Amino acid sequence: MEPTIFDKNMMWQDHLPTGWSGLYQQFIERLTAIDPTLRVTGAKRKFGELCIRFDRYNREADALARVAEQSSRTLCQMCSAPGELRADMNSVYATLCDLHAGATRPSDRPAIYSIIVHPSDD
């Protein structure tokens, strides 16, 4: 059976840290409720937070993605526990709980909003 758009959107979960799997799945379920034909063209960790892209602009989906991205700043990317954006010695950013913080320090970097909408190919 051909994978559905939902299935394909869910595949981006593999590109994300395990701590954000639940967040991403919830996002895709809500996205599907808004518009089941919207395709995720990218979901990744960027500067320590979730970054999601779509194949076209949809105001509701865009707002939903921003909420998910904001949530990712408070969820440990390793274990989903409450966490915060942190940076290591090399200014590599990650959202981590106290348990996984290791040698990182809290980052006061403001949120990045990096939704980039690609025009549809068809």
The footprint of Zn ion (CB under 5 A) covers: 76, 78-79, 81, 97, 99-100
- Name the nearest CA neighbour of 41 among 64, 8, 65: 8
CB distance 77 to 47 below 8 Å: no
Q: How far apart are CB 108 and Zn ion at their closest, in Å?
A: 20
Q: How far apart are CB 100 and Zn ion at their closest, in Å?
A: 4
Please list, in sequence order, all residues whose beta carbon lies within 8 angstroms of the beta carbon of residue 11, skipping any fewer than 6 positions away. 3
Cβ closer to Zn ion: 79 or 87? 79
Please give the single-letter amino acid code of residue 77.
Answer: Q
Cβ closer to Zn ion: 10 or 78? 78
Cβ closer to Zn ion: 4 or 18? 18
Q: How far apart are CB 110 and Zn ion at their closest, in Å?
A: 23
Give, as one character, the DSSP assignment of residue 87. Answer: E
Which residue's CB comes closest to Zn ion? Answer: 76
Cβ closer to Zn ion: 58 or 74? 74
Q: Max CA-CA distance within the chain?
A: 47
